[in-house]
Amino acid sequence: MPTYNDYGIILNSYDLGESDRILNIYTKENGLVRAVVKGARKTLSKFSGKVDQLSCCYFHFASGKNLDTVCDCEQVNSFSLLRSNLICLTSAVLFLEIVSNFAHEDEHDSHHIYDLLYVSLNRLQISPNPDLESISFISKFLSLHGYKPQFETCVSCAAKTDLKPALSGSYPYSSILGGILCSNCSGTINSKSVNSQTLNILLNAGRDIPIEQLYNKQSLNNQNKNIRSVLELLREHLDVRAKNKIKSFDLVFSL
């Protein structure tokens, strides 16, 4: 039976039989891997505490016809700080669900998504604002998949948009098409009005700049409403493109 090793983060799991567990793992080199862990639910299992959701491990797999088998694993990071903070943990679960909804087996360039997920979870552990970290993660994730919202030109007719987020005002945005509309197209295409402050947060989200350099504490407090508006916009953007609607957003908005 062929074997292989890979780093992976456990997206979710479910029980199989009396003591086994099936894991959905996003791996660095192989994309989504579905694997069974035999005896994982036994009290004295060698996998106890290692194969929970969110755990990052170095896995030793045996290839199978329908499911691979986890022969052994070494935990690399349990993201323990996330598990002790409900708000951060909820955002982490959101990250996992988003990745799961777009993941495929033998995914091309999966190491980019894996690295983004790993780094984002680590940043989330010490973040003063989980919502902004969520916006940053989602924006980079969408960019890697080619689904980044379009701002420079009209998403319908490609006309140049007069986007000036530093100024006050609002702009028509289509979640279905995924970007800003010009004044002509906004009259015929369903859209929502998005204020310039919200767009400014979105434009900065994909930049690899520490949050504290973009917003001081006072401005961050003033921006909380706009930050949630960005998350709602990204939720609509993802729901159009994901395999299933991202349910974890409900938990994020409830906190």
User: At 190, is the secondary structure helix, strand, or coil?
Assistant: coil
Strand (E) positions, 78-228?
170-174, 179-180, 192-195
Residue-wise pLDDT tens digits, 233-251: 999 999 999 999 999 999 9
Whether residue 112 contacts residue 126, with contact meaning beta carbons closer than 8 Å, is answered with no
Question: CATH 1.20.1440.120 residue ranges in the chain?
Answer: 80-149+163-254
CATH topology of domain 80-149+163-254: de novo design (two linked rop proteins) (1.20.1440)
Residue 49 vs residues 14, 78, 89, 108, 116: alpha-carbon distances, Å: 15, 9, 17, 30, 24
> Where exactly does CATH 2.40.50.140 map onto the chain?
3-77
Residues 163-174 pLDDT 10s: 776 566 788 999
CATH number of 3-77: 2.40.50.140
CA nearest to 224, candidates 132, 117, 134, 157: 132
Phi, psi of 98 (to 5 degrees): -65, -50
pTM of the predicted model as reported, rounded to 2 decimal places: 0.91
- pLDDT tens, position by position, 179-232: 999 989 988 999 999 988 888 888 887 666 655 555 555 466 667 888 899 999
